[in-house]
Amino acid sequence: MKKLILLLIVFTSTHSFAQRAKNVFSKKSTPATINKSRDTSLRVIIVDKEKQIQLPAYFINDRFIQNLSSINAEQIESMNVVKRDTVIGTQTYAGQIHIKTKAEYTPKFISLAELKNKYTSFKEIPVVFMLDADVINSDQESYFVDENNLLTIIVDKLKTNKDKVEIGLIKLLTKSKENIDKRNTIMIRGEGIVTK
């Protein structure tokens, strides 16, 4: 009896499989074909600073920090979110995020200006900072990074073609898994590998 009921359920449920939808279009719509190839067309995106989303103010161990990207996430013990607009200096932030690090970890914050003076010889030339391939568009004096979480500092100079103006480029790489893996990758070039 159980086999008969099971067989009846299987046959009635398989009737709904392999059904085709009828071509039912309303008078106002027309069928369209979708090209399933990848979109490779050129896109130009102009960033409007006036329309950017307001970010929250980050406080790490009760110290105001403009960004959170230079903090090692594994060292965070707790987070607290305060949902109210905050004005610091002339900048308005959409809320506050208070982060407490683990007791055995003490972040070593350094401003971009202090970092530039400590590790480079750039004095009078303009400098562009990058943090893990993202350009930092902020004041050098008020933008802090955790020096304990920096893996590599790459210092370079760029020259413009016509004006021969030098621009300093400082790339900061954090101790992320991806950056550590790239640093520890060994590239071997040659005709072949000799093994015994």
- The amino acid at 117: N
- Which pLDDT value is given to residue 169? 93
Across-strand partners of 110?
145
Q: Would you give per-residue pLDDT tens digits along the chain (196 residues)?
A: 777 676 667 666 666 665 565 555 555 666 666 666 777 889 898 877 767 778 888 888 888 887 777 788 888 899 999 998 888 888 888 889 999 989 898 888 899 999 999 999 888 889 999 999 888 888 888 888 889 889 999 999 988 877 788 899 999 999 888 988 988 888 777 666 555 5
Q: What is the pLDDT of residue 29?
A: 60
Positive or negative: CA dihedral 33, 34, 37, 38? positive
How would you classify residue 100: left for phi > 0, otherwise alpha for psi between -120 and 50, otherwise beta? beta
Q: Report the pLDDT value the prediction gives residue 73, as an integer from 0 to 100.
A: 82
pLDDT at 118: 92
pLDDT at 193: 58
> pLDDT at position 117, please?
92
Residue 110, H or E segment: strand 109-111
Give residue 8's pLDDT: 66
Q: Is the dihedral of CA 43, 48, 51, 52 positive or negative?
A: positive
- The pLDDT assigned to 114 comes to 93
